[in-house]
Amino acid sequence: MLKKQKAKTSGKQRTSTSGLGKTILRIWSYLADHKSLMILVLLMVVASSALGLLGPFLIGWGIDEYFAAASTDGFIWLLVGLAAVYGLHSISLWLQSYWMIGIAQQTVYTMRKQLFTHFHKLPIDFFNKRQHGELMSRVTNDIENVSATLNSSVIQIFSSLLTLVGTLVVMIWLSPLLTLVTMIIVPLMFLGMKWITSRTGRLYKEQQRRLGEMNGYIEETISGQKIIKSFSQEPKVIEEFRVKNEQLKQSGYWAQTFTGFIPKLMNMLNNLSFTLVAAVGGYFALNGYVSIGTIVIFTEYSRQFTRPLNDLSNQFNTLLSAVAGADRVFDIIDTDEEAIDEKDAAALPDIKGKVEFKGVSFSYEKGGDTVSNLSFIAEPGQSVALVGPTGAGKSTIINLISRFYEPDSGIILIDDTDSRSITRRSLRMQMAFVLQDSFLFQGSIRDNIRYGRLDATDEEVEQAARAANAHSFITRMPAGYDTELSQDDAGISQGQKQLLSIARAILADPSILILDEATSSIDTITELKIQEALQKLLKGRTSFIIAHRLNTIKSADQIIVIDSGQIIEKGSHEELLEQKGFYHSLYTSQLEKKQLMNT
Ligand code: ATP
């Protein structure tokens, strides 16, 4: 049985994500990969929090010691001490942020790497079922969100917690009664915060989802521009975008609005606390219960006490937005990879190219078979045309030969070896594809042909282009082989694109060739060039051709006619015509149509 491998990340199995706590723990496990730096950051956080507490304490002490006692002896040392405390405080702040940025950038670097690498291990089906822009949004926006939060929030959360505890301890030590006064606002803060964050968490998740959706839509409409324009669907697309944009605006608006309440609420409660401490403290000082210095320390500490609470609540919101992003990233990392090869699967040696299907059945979804009980043999070097109505299962057979999917039952033999005992990579390395919508990458024509075999020399690339009848049109281009192609294939015709992909396949020199013939109408000269190039390419290779043109069907060694996932006829062109079955009627109807068009 083929084993499915669960995603592994940086050598450690990270727990699956469900719930806030688990996601935070999982993000933490990335930070823990940088233990020594994390320890340094934490030390600096402790130092800055302690120094932050020491400053006001020294001021209060100084007031009691020098002003209240009207003495200036050693006052200069107090000033030096204060300068040192605030100087070291700044240095520790700078260091912690410097190191934390390093950790954060390394963490998101690792996440991006894992996500991108994992993309390339996922089955083809995964991409068929998802919007590409939405997936791209996860690598960019969602990870960026995590990065922004890690840069600032981790430090902030630690230092806020430390400052909170430290302030509380000193305040209790100075005056338990005044501490109690300061604490009156805490339950109010807690309740307010809970009310706000229970709403924002949901809204941030929603915002990330909507952003992903919108990116998906933008990507789709940019790559589908030609279709949109040719069907004059611009108004519809603009309207659909408006709706998505509106939804994103709404979720962003509410998330930000609720978040915006936090500082206002905190400020109000802060002022309330300050007033209370000043009033009660003033009363105590007048009655001689506490010194003026203690009141100064206290008013400053009451601010220091509410500030970390304020910061914590602000960070909590940013954290929620990062968790929403991280969840979407982990979702993909946790998706099962393409089934990995059997444990004892071996690399395929150079093959002759025999392909045999023995009782192969397969379905994409549970339910009825997409193809059922397929049996046929393609001898080495034979060309096999797959013919049949749309949706019959021709591409599915190709998907099975290339092992993008595995049969539910039956076996596929390559050179008489069960394909399951062969590694996928070694099989695909002996195959090449010439598809209708051949994909050209951003880069030069030379690079695009060289994609067939990366170590090919410039001469080999040129030879392949000559064999593919592509050389003459390439040399007519402004920069010849160095002409840059853009992803949208601007400046290159459909036929030329096909010639380039034939050149790419010639260079790859595969034993098995998959050819999805172009249906688009190409001028007769280019078509002849393509036919000629194809004949050269097919020579000596086992080829599977999803045939749309009668010429290729006629010259194929074997024609397999498929209907509703089953082979209904098999044989050469002449044999099938003699049978006067499905193929015969298909052929004669196409012939009649052609004659009709010629008259
Ligand atoms: P065409 O000539 O139109 O390309 P085809 O003969 O190549 O058609 P297939 O693409 O093999 O037909 O499709 C066979 C059946 O499987 C169709 O009913 C199709 O809807 C279904 N199908 C194809 N790909 C998938 C997929 N990824 N997931 C689910 N069903 C699929």
Question: Long-range contacts made by residues 235-243, C-beta under 8 angstroms, separation at least 24?
Answer: 241/214, 241/217
The ligand 1 atom at the shortest distance from the C-alpha of residue 128 is 27
Query: How close is the Cα of 341 to the center of ligand 1, in Å?
Result: 25
Show Cβ contacts of residue 312 under 8 Å, excluding neighbours closer than 6 positions. Answer: 156, 157, 160, 161, 164
Q: Please answer whether residues 76 and 45 qualify as being in contact, where contact means their C-beta atoms are separated by less than 8 angstroms.
A: no
User: Could you tell me if residue 66 is inside a domain?
Assistant: yes
The ligand 1 atom at the shortest distance from the C-alpha of residue 371 is 14
Query: How close is the Cα of 548 to the center of ligand 1, in Å?
Result: 16
Query: How close is the Cα of 409 to the center of ligand 1, in Å?
Result: 18
Identify the bridge partners of residue 444 per DSSP, sorted by sequence position.
Answer: 484
Tell me: do 413 and 354 sit in the same domain: yes
- Which residue's CA is the closest to the ligand 1 atom numbered 17? 391
- pLDDT of 542-576, one tens digit each? 999 887 766 667 888 999 999 989 999 999 989 98
User: How does 230-265 read in b/e, with b if 16+ C-beta sit within 10 Å?
Assistant: eeeeeeebeeeeeebeebbeebbebbeebbebbeeb
Q: Please answer whether residues 181 and 276 qualify as being in contact, where contact means their C-beta atoms are separated by less than 8 angstroms.
A: yes
pLDDT (0 to 100) of residue 95: 92
Final residue belonging to a domain, choices 294, 309, 333 = 333
pLDDT (0 to 100) of residue 7: 37
Size of the chain in residues = 599
The ligand 1 atom at the shortest distance from the C-alpha of residue 565 is 14
Give me the DSSP letters along 36-66: HHHHHHHHHHHHHHHHHHHHHHHHHHHIIII
Query: How close is the Cα of 126 to the center of ligand 1, in Å?
Result: 15
pLDDT (0 to 100) of residue 94: 92
- Which residue's CA is the closest to the ligand 1 atom numbered 16? 370
Identify the bridge partners of residue 546 per DSSP, sorted by sequence position.
Answer: 386, 516
Residue 77 corresponds to which tokens in the numbers above?
């040392």
Give dist(CA 59, CA 83) in Å, integer. 11
- Which residue's CA is the closest to the ligand 1 atom numbered 15? 391
Q: Residues 457, 462, 465, 470: is their CA dihedral positive or negative? A: positive
> What single letter denotes the amino acid at residue 304?
Q
Residue pointed to by tokens 């013939």: 517
Q: Please answer whether residues 300 and 56 qualify as being in contact, where contact means their C-beta atoms are separated by less than 8 angstroms.
A: yes
Give dist(CA 205, CA 188) in Å, integer. 27
Query: How close is the Cα of 23 to the center of ligand 1, in Å?
Result: 38
Show Cβ contacts of residue 496 under 8 Å, excluding neighbours closer than 6 positions. Answer: 470, 473, 526
Tell me: do 321 and 352 sit in the same domain: no
Query: How close is the Cα of 390 to the center of ligand 1, in Å?
Result: 8
How many domains, in total, are found in the chain?
Answer: 3
Show Cβ contacts of residue 563 under 8 Å, excluding neighbours closer than 6 positions. Answer: 388, 389, 392, 582
pLDDT (0 to 100) of residue 66: 75
Give dist(CA 266, CA 310) in Å, integer. 6
Burial of 361 (0-12, 13-18, 19+ CB in 10 A): middle
Q: Please answer whether residues 531 and 522 qualify as being in contact, where contact means their C-beta atoms are separated by less than 8 angstroms.
A: no
Query: How close is the Cα of 553 to the center of ligand 1, in Å?
Result: 21
Tell me: do 277 and 399 sit in the same domain: no
Structural element, H or E, at residue 110:
helix 75-119
Backbone torsions φ then ψ of 485, nearest 5 degrees: -105, 145
Query: How close is the Cα of 398 to the center of ligand 1, in Å?
Result: 11
Residue 217 corresponds to which tokens in the numbers above?
């839509």
Residue 213 domain boundaries: 2-333
Give dist(CA 353, CA 266) in Å, integer. 74
**Can you give the three-state secondary structure of 421-484, one letter per residue?**
HECHHHHHCCEEEECCCCCCCCEEHHHHHHCCCCCCCHHHHHHHHHHCCCHHHHHCCCCHHHCE
Pocket test for ligand 1, best of 128, 370, 435, 564 (most atoms within 8 A of CB): 370
Pocket residues for ligand 1 (CB within 6 Å)? 125, 128, 364-365, 370, 388, 390-396
- Which residue's CA is the closest to the ligand 1 atom numbered 31? 364
SS3 511: coil
Query: How close is the Cα of 511 to the center of ligand 1, in Å?
Result: 26
Tell me: do 305 and 425 sit in the same domain: no
Query: How close is the Cα of 371 to the center of ligand 1, in Å?
Result: 10
User: Could you tell me if residue 437 is inside a domain?
Assistant: no
Residue 467 corresponds to which tokens in the numbers above?
């064999």
Residue pointed to by tokens 């281009």: 477
Residue 246 corresponds to which tokens in the numbers above?
């509106």
Task: Give the mean pLDDT per block of 10 residues along the chain (599 residues).
Answer: 36 45 86 90 89 82 74 78 91 91 91 89 81 82 85 80 84 85 82 78 82 86 80 87 92 83 80 84 83 80 74 73 85 79 72 90 86 92 89 90 90 90 85 78 86 88 88 88 73 81 88 75 68 79 81 82 91 89 83 64
Give dist(CA 534, CA 538) in Å, integer. 6
Burial of 179 (0-12, 13-18, 19+ CB in 10 A): buried
- Which residue's CA is the closest to the ligand 1 atom numbered 3? 390
- Which residue's CA is the closest to the ligand 1 atom numbered 27? 125
Tell me: do 304 and 366 sit in the same domain: no
User: Could you tell me if residue 228 is inside a domain?
Assistant: yes
Query: How close is the Cα of 395 to the center of ligand 1, in Å?
Result: 7
Give dist(CA 501, CA 463) in Å, integer. 14
Tell me: do 29 and 140 sit in the same domain: yes
pLDDT (0 to 100) of residue 68: 67
Give me the DSSP letters along 136-176: HHIIIIIHHHHHHHHHHHHHHHHHHHHHHHHHHHHHHHH-H
Tell me: do 291 and 353 sit in the same domain: no
pLDDT (0 to 100) of residue 356: 94
Q: What is the pTM of this model?
A: 0.68
Give dist(CA 64, CA 508) in Å, integer. 86
- pLDDT of 488-508, one tens digit each? 555 788 788 888 888 888 888
Q: Please answer whether residues 56 and 104 qualify as being in contact, where contact means their C-beta atoms are separated by less than 8 angstroms.
A: no
CA 406 to chain centre: 26
Q: What is the CATH number of the domain that holds 421?
A: 3.40.50.300
Tell me: do 516 and 454 sit in the same domain: no
Query: How close is the Cα of 158 to the center of ligand 1, in Å?
Result: 55
Query: How close is the Cα of 392 to the center of ligand 1, in Å?
Result: 7
User: Could you tell me if residue 555 is inside a domain?
Assistant: yes
Q: Residues 266, 268, 274, 279: is their CA dihedral positive or negative? A: negative
Query: Rg (Cα) of the chain, in Å, rounded?
Result: 35
Query: How close is the Cα of 389 to the center of ligand 1, in Å?
Result: 11
Q: What is the CATH number of the domain that holds 79?
A: 1.20.1560.10
Parallel/antiparallel/unpaired status of strands 512-516 and 383-387: unpaired
SS3 146: helix
User: Could you tell me if residue 395 is inside a domain?
Assistant: yes
- Which residue's CA is the closest to the ligand 1 atom numbered 20? 391
User: Could you tell me if residue 387 is inside a domain?
Assistant: yes
Question: Long-range contacts made by residues 65-69, C-beta under 8 angstroms, separation at least 24?
Answer: 65/293, 68/291, 68/292, 68/293
- Which residue's CA is the closest to the ligand 1 atom numbered 29? 364
SS3 content of the chain, % helix, strand, coil (to 5): 65, 10, 25
- Which residue's CA is the closest to the ligand 1 atom numbered 30? 364
Tell me: do 500 and 411 sit in the same domain: no
Q: Please answer whether residues 32 and 106 qualify as being in contact, where contact means their C-beta atoms are separated by less than 8 angstroms.
A: no
Tell me: do 95 and 193 sit in the same domain: yes
Residue 119 corresponds to which tokens in the numbers above?
């993309």
Pocket test for ligand 1, best of 125, 364, 402 (most atoms within 8 A of CB): 364
Tell me: do 171 and 281 sit in the same domain: yes
- Which residue's CA is the closest to the ligand 1 atom numbered 25? 364
Show Cβ contacts of residue 423 under 8 Å, excluding neighbours closer than 6 positions. Answer: 341, 345, 346, 347, 348
User: Could you tell me if residue 532 is inside a domain?
Assistant: no
User: Could you tell me if residue 561 is inside a domain?
Assistant: yes
- Which residue's CA is the closest to the ligand 1 atom numbered 1? 390
> What single letter denotes the amino acid at residue 84?
A
Pocket test for ligand 1, best of 127, 363, 395 (most atoms within 8 A of CB): 395
Tell me: do 357 and 455 sit in the same domain: no
Pocket test for ligand 1, best of 338, 396, 562, 567 (most atoms within 8 A of CB): 396
Q: Please answer whether residues 378 and 391 qualify as being in contact, where contact means their C-beta atoms are separated by less than 8 angstroms.
A: no
The ligand 1 atom at the shortest distance from the C-alpha of residue 398 is 11
Backbone torsions φ then ψ of 565, nearest 5 degrees: 80, 10
The ligand 1 atom at the shortest distance from the C-alpha of residue 399 is 11
